[in-house]
Chain A
Amino acid sequence: MTTVALVVGGLLAVASVLYVALPFLREPAPREDRLDEPGTLERRALELAEERDRALGALKELEFDHRTGKISDDDYRELVGPLRRRVAEALHALEPRAESNEERVRASG
């Protein structure tokens, strides 16, 4: 029993070590070994995309709540304007235009 245990244990250890070493065995000399990392620009763009999704979600929610009667017409009129503006601003900041995206994203920050 001990021999079987030793063999199985040994195989398990070797398999684990090989699996852990796999990234190095597959790419012994890679051209680059850097982890992808969002830069300041990408982080800002992500913030804008989140803001856009948040604004779109809020607008959708407002429309639905108005349709169900949870929001009165007066409240709806008061709330919908600023929300639409937020959506437009977020979309504007992210949409491709002639000017450099880099400049645009920077400008929106």
Chain B
Amino acid sequence: MPELGRAALVLCLGLALYALTAGAYAAKTRRRRLARSAQNALLAAFGAAMVAAVVLLAALLRHDFSFVYVAEHTSVELPTPYKISAFWGGQEGSLLLWLMILTGFSAAAVAFGRRSGADLLAWVVPVLGLVTTFFAFMLVAVSSPFDTQVAPADGAGLNPSLQNPYMMIHPPFLYLGFVGLTIPFAFAMGALLARRTDELWIVTTRRWTLFAWTALGIGQLLGAHWAYVEVGWGGYYAWDPVENAALMPWLAATAFLHSVMIQEKRGMLKVWNMLLVILAFCLALFGTFLTRSGIVSSIHSFTQSPLGPWFLGFICLVTAGSLALVFSRLTLLRARTRMESLVSREATFLYNNLLLVALCLTILWGVAFPILSEAVRGEQITVSAPYYNFFLRIFGLPLLLLMGIGPLVAWRRASLRSLGRSFAWPAAIGLLIGGALLALGAGSSRAGLVAYTFSAFVLGSIGYEFVRGARARRALAGGSWLNALSELIARNRRRYGGYIVHASIVLLAIGVVGSSAYQTVREARLEPGQSMTVAGNRLVFRGYESRRRPNHLAIRANVDVYRGGDYLGRYRPGKNKYFAEDQVSNEVSIRRDWLTGGDLFLIADGIHDRSVDLKALVKPLVNLIWISGFIFLAGALVTLWPSAAEQRRLAARYRELRPLVRA
């Protein structure tokens, strides 16, 4: 069926091209039926992309090795779940996933957007059509998943590190985030093209942005956990360009989610918000470019890659075109109000924005510098973890502090007396916990101690906000504390959902600081019966065992763990030797202690005839990172949940205008 897949992609390209050209013509000449027809083309493009995706998925599941893609990324013995994840395991498949999600989101945006202004939607469709045309063109002409060959007896298999359950969900979440950022971008550009710089585009895309941002955040955490349990080096984030590719648009989207509130509440920062939406989308494209062009490994593989130059050209086109559009509409974007005080909620949002964008651009420079140095000087200079860690401290610590300051400061302006009253409790909590930690020896890492003090202050500030809010609600409506709390959240989901997200970021920070600044590492070569000690844990090597699985040989070192006189159990780090792929993967063993939140992390670095090179890491509080993911999701869901009162207010705003004006 490769012909059907190819035909579906060609059809998708044609429909997207029609949505772009007919949509732009209809919007320009104000033709209603043509605009509707262009919208239908985007909806039909989703159907065509789905057919192409079903064809590829069927080929993967039937291990039809006449498809080059299937032969290169699966084998007969590959377990079925990984045959499905092989869909996005390679370049062509992941581009098809991009296209499928993009057309799906575009169709949904059109279907929901029909309720909003027709003039705005008319200009959104060609923007979505442009992005869809690019990806459909890449799949049709540059990197097709439907290339065929004479079928070999077996395929090359899937990269062993991708044979992990996390690979079933981590890439789709990242792609939901990357692609989701297309929708706010399209509405922002549509608003500029339609000269509609009111809040309609923000109101329409608020949940899209939140959804994309949440998916990108969860996707990164899933990726971090995958790296932790699968890659086998003892960490979860290595500042790898591919990891940074997802972090950068997330930081830009985080800045946008904050600054857009200033536009909604004060009518300010319209240009800045446009720039942030453009930045987030361009960074999402740049992230896909980084992972798919081969430029990360070398500039030479980029020039040899058929994809790289196209992507670079498209990113340049989108960046230049959208910036030119913003520039041409500057007069419409001028704010009518000014910031009243540098000590106000909106000012803290602005500081937060500057820090987030600075961190984002610093990471971008770290990613781009090796590429530029290789292109200009012919030698690749690696920007490694110390560079990123330095700037994470420089920008990250003030950001952490601002998360605690922001909720305590009122909109517009705050007097010293009000600030003093608001800050007293949270600051006392922060200083008390910081002092206690110093006394307990946490001063071995100054940055760690500062981060923990700030974290305590932020959690104190968030807790204080909930207590003050619930107390005020009780004073107003009576009832129990629990009722008051749930009423409080239900009446202002964005504010209190945001606080829950902030709490999750603080937990993440505590986990990251604990597991990096305060971790213990030991390495030793052990013969059977020999032992080593790490942070009070005695590890005894008891010899090897091996098992043959359908597609690999699993070799495990048996390590008994004791603490004091207590036997804590047997742990089995080792390696897997994959037959079809002819590759070896590290398989780590982790002893999780939920009581302390820390892990004992074991790696069999070297496997010899009788001995093992055992590496053991004790990572305090690392599990708070994973727990923070659940809290992050809960907070995001609270903010995403539609508020009936707000829906009514917005519906009334747009409904009442016509009769009012035409009366």
Contact A75 to B418, CB < 8 A, known contacts A22-B37, A49-B657, A58-B265: yes
In the complex, what distance in Å separates the CA atom of A105 from the CA atom of B265? 22
Q: Are A70 and B422 in contact (CB under 8 A)?
A: yes
In the complex, what distance in Å separates the CA atom of A67 from the CA atom of B471? 9
Q: Are B1 and A4 in contact (CB under 8 A)?
A: yes
Q: Are B119 and A75 in contact (CB under 8 A)?
A: no
Is B490 on the interface with A (CB-CB < 8 A)? Answer: no
Contact A70 to B653, CB < 8 A, known contacts A8-B4, A13-B11, A57-B265: no
Q: Chain A residues near B26: list those with CB within 8 A.
A: 35
Q: Are B418 and A72 in contact (CB under 8 A)?
A: yes
Is B436 on the interface with A (CB-CB < 8 A)? Answer: no
Q: Chain B residues near A46: list those with CB within 8 A.
A: 198, 200, 653-654, 657
In the complex, what distance in Å separates the CA atom of A49 from the CA atom of B412? 21
The interface-forming segment of B41-49, B221-229, B367-375, B559-567 is: B41-49
Q: Are B48 and A45 in contact (CB under 8 A)?
A: no
Mark contacts of A23-45 with chain B using CB atoms, 8 A cut-off: 1 yes-contact digit, 0 otherwise: 11001001011111111011101
Is A81 on the interface with B (CB-CB < 8 A)? Answer: no
Residue from A23, A33, A105 within 8 A of B661 (CB atoms): A105
Is A54 on the interface with B (CB-CB < 8 A)? Answer: yes
Residue from A6, A24, A36, A41 within 8 A of B3 (CB atoms): A6
Residue from B8, B43, B413 within 8 A of A9 (CB atoms): B8
Is A71 on the interface with B (CB-CB < 8 A)? Answer: yes
Q: Are B119 and A38 in contact (CB under 8 A)?
A: yes
In the complex, what distance in Å separates the CA atom of A67 from the CA atom of B491? 15
Q: Chain A residues near B656: list those with CB within 8 A.
A: 49
Is B437 on the interface with A (CB-CB < 8 A)? Answer: no
Q: Are B1 and A5 in contact (CB under 8 A)?
A: yes
Is B32 on the interface with A (CB-CB < 8 A)? Answer: yes
B:1-57 near A, CB below 8 Å: 1, 3-4, 7-8, 11, 15, 18, 26-27, 30-37, 40-41, 43-44, 47-48, 51
In the complex, what distance in Å separates the CA atom of A47 from the CA atom of B334? 13
Q: Chain A residues near B412: list those with CB within 8 A.
A: 58, 79
Contact A13 to B661, CB < 8 A, known contacts A21-B37, A35-B35: no
Mark contacts of A87-109 with chain B using CB atoms, 8 A cut-off: 1 yes-contact digit, 0 otherwise: 00000001010001110010000
Q: Chain B residues near A22: list those with CB within 8 A.
A: 36-37, 40
Q: Chain A residues near B597: list those with CB within 8 A.
A: none
Contact A33 to B33, CB < 8 A, known contacts A19-B40, A38-B117: yes
B477 to chain A, nearest CB (A): 12
A105 to chain B, nearest CB (A): 7
Q: Are B30 and A35 in contact (CB under 8 A)?
A: yes
Q: Are A35 and B657 in contact (CB under 8 A)?
A: no
In the complex, what distance in Å separates the CA atom of A64 from the CA atom of B8? 56
Q: Chain B residues near A8: list those with CB within 8 A.
A: 4, 51
Q: Which residue, of A34, A41, A47, A49, has the highest number of chain B Cβ atoms within 10 A?
A: A49
Q: Are A75 and B32 in contact (CB under 8 A)?
A: no
Residue from A33, A68, A101 within 8 A of B472 (CB atoms): A68
Residue from B44, B47, B660 within 8 A of A101 (CB atoms): B660
Is B482 on the interface with A (CB-CB < 8 A)? Answer: no
Q: Are B8 and A36 in contact (CB under 8 A)?
A: no
In the complex, what distance in Å separates the CA atom of A72 from the CA atom of B410? 10
A68 and chain B: residue at smallest CB distance: B468
Is B626 on the interface with A (CB-CB < 8 A)? Answer: no
Q: Are A67 and B472 in contact (CB under 8 A)?
A: yes
Q: Are A23 and B33 in contact (CB under 8 A)?
A: yes
A50 to chain B, nearest CB (A): 6
Q: Are A33 and B657 in contact (CB under 8 A)?
A: no
Q: Are A35 and B11 in contact (CB under 8 A)?
A: no
Q: Are A45 and B657 in contact (CB under 8 A)?
A: yes
Q: Are B51 and A27 in contact (CB under 8 A)?
A: no
Q: Chain A residues near B31: list those with CB within 8 A.
A: 33-35
Q: Are A35 and B410 in contact (CB under 8 A)?
A: no
Q: Chain A residues near B415: list those with CB within 8 A.
A: 72, 74-75
A17 and chain B: residue at smallest CB distance: B44
B:636-663 near A, CB below 8 Å: 649, 653-654, 656-658, 660-661, 663
Residue from B4, B653, B658 within 8 A of A50 (CB atoms): B653
In the complex, what distance in Å separates the CA atom of A74 from the CA atom of B416? 12
Q: Chain B residues near A23: list those with CB within 8 A.
A: 32-34, 36-37, 40
Q: Are B4 and A64 in contact (CB under 8 A)?
A: no
Is B577 on the interface with A (CB-CB < 8 A)? Answer: no
A64 and chain B: residue at smallest CB distance: B472
Contact A67 to B119, CB < 8 A, known contacts A23-B37, A24-B33, A50-B267: no
Residue from A5, A32, A72 within 8 A of B7 (CB atoms): A5
Mark contacts of B451-473 with chain A using CB atoms, 8 A cut-off: 1 yes-contact digit, 0 otherwise: 00000000000000000110110
Is B150 on the interface with A (CB-CB < 8 A)? Answer: no
Is B593 on the interface with A (CB-CB < 8 A)? Answer: no
Q: Are A42 and B48 in contact (CB under 8 A)?
A: no
Residue from A1, A12, A35 within 8 A of B48 (CB atoms): A12
A105 and chain B: residue at smallest CB distance: B661
In the complex, what distance in Å separates the CA atom of A9 from the CA atom of B47? 12
Q: Chain B residues near A79: list those with CB within 8 A.
A: 412-413
Q: Are A53 and B649 in contact (CB under 8 A)?
A: yes
Residue from B3, B34, B36 within 8 A of A5 (CB atoms): B3
In the complex, what distance in Å separates the CA atom of A4 from the CA atom of B40? 26
Contact A69 to B661, CB < 8 A, known contacts A36-B118, A38-B117, A58-B411: no
A60 to chain B, nearest CB (A): 10
In the complex, what distance in Å separates the CA atom of A12 from the CA atom of B8? 8
B59 to chain A, nearest CB (A): 11
Q: Are B266 and A54 in contact (CB under 8 A)?
A: yes
A5 and chain B: residue at smallest CB distance: B4
Residue from A1, A49, A67, A101 within 8 A of B663 (CB atoms): A101
Q: Are B421 and A69 in contact (CB under 8 A)?
A: yes
B64 to chain A, nearest CB (A): 10
A99 to chain B, nearest CB (A): 11
Contact A33 to B32, CB < 8 A, known contacts A42-B661, A54-B266: yes
Q: Chain A residues near B649: list those with CB within 8 A.
A: 53
Q: Chain B residues near A34: list those with CB within 8 A.
A: 30-32
In the complex, what distance in Å separates the CA atom of A4 from the CA atom of B7? 12
Q: Chain B residues near A45: list those with CB within 8 A.
A: 657, 660-661
Q: Chain A residues near B506: list those with CB within 8 A.
A: none
A90 to chain B, nearest CB (A): 12
Closest 4 A-B residue pairs measured CB to CB? A9-B7, A5-B4, A23-B36, A68-B468
Instruction: Give 9 A-B contacts (CB < 8 Å), ordered by A residue.
Output: A27-B33, A36-B117, A37-B30, A54-B267, A62-B411, A75-B418, A94-B660, A96-B660, A100-B663
